Amino acid sequence: MSNPPLVLVLAAENHPQLSMLHEIPHVLGKSVTDFAAKTREAAVIFHWSGSRDVLRAAFLASPNLRWVHSRAAGLDNLLFPELVTSDVLLTNGTGVFSRSLGEFALAAILYFAKDLRRMVCNQQAARWEQFDVEEIAGRTVGIVGYGDIGRAVATRVHAMGMKILALKRHPPASADPLAGPLIARFYKPEEINTMLGQCDYIVVAAPLTHETRHMLSDAQFAAMRPNAVLINIGRGPVIDQDALVRVLAEKKIRGAGLDVFAKEPIPVDDPIWKLDNVLISPHCADHTKDWLNDAMRFFLKQYDRFRKGEPLENIVEKHLGY
């Protein structure tokens, strides 16, 4: 029986989850020099944390590499030309964090529908002020980017009685199981403004690629209803944040619930902090108590498949970036 494949584990921080790798032959390091002569033996790179430069250096130093796995789902900060054009398989953490992100999207919808900000402010001021709230059943949600996260959102809002529209690069045919009963209609990217104009809530769950950068900007905000709420659980730069701040400040849309931003952390002087129609989550909507454990367990399952020669999950189309 051949030896189990050696894994180079790129980790900028010494998280306790790394101890879960004890049964797998691996070398832990923060830089390519930490791996010394082991790079020639390595078949796998597990990018737990760290920079693209370190990943690229380890990749270029490992001539027998067959697979790279990223703990994260988003890959816009990791891809480099040599990896994209190579035959090395790339997988990511898609699906590990989707449930929690779906819950955040639902929470943001309810935050605006029930005006929870007003409730909290009134409570802090000991003010008894009755006001009308919105029922979300029957309202329309548009999902921009209908992948695993988008489906997690759809499952949850559908259970609340909401109508769902979805934007997808390649909409499924009606016979495709992905079409399912959840989505009332799919739209192509060039139809985005048509979809947005029908939505009370818009959830952005698209990956960041050259095609999706600033996918939502002035023209898209102009197409939205005045009561629309924009929620971003994908990648910050998919939305033109300067344009978003303008429409929010001018109350041209109702509000925004954001977990991701153009620059993170948000600079202290950024005007978005002072907007009273924005719910800000510091990119932690998927940081559950077990999120790192779940990410490691997923890699361990992937490694077992790889060792046995079985198909891997979450294989990335590298030229597309997701």
The residues assigned a catalytic role are 235, 264, 283
| Residue 257 β-bridge partners | 231, 279
DSSP 3-state assignment of 90? Answer: strand
Residue 256: CB partners within 8 Å, gap ≥ 6?
Answer: 229, 230, 231, 232, 244, 248, 277, 278, 279
Helix and strand numbers, DSSP H then E, in the chain? 9, 12
Closest CA to 316 of 99, 154, 78: 78
Residue 204: CB partners within 8 Å, gap ≥ 6?
Answer: 144, 145, 216, 230, 231, 232, 233, 234, 238, 239
DSSP assignment string, 297-318:
HHHHHHHHHHHHTPPPSSB--T
Reading the block at residue 12, the tokens are: 């900028």
Residue 148 amino acid letter: D
DSSP 3-state assignment of 255? Answer: strand
CA–CA separation, 48 vs 51, rounded Å? 10
* Inter-residue contact 19 to 54 (CB < 8 Å): no
| CA quadruple 47, 266, 254, 133: dihedral sign | positive
| Residue 68 β-bridge partners | 45, 90
Tell me which H or E stretch contains 200. Answer: none
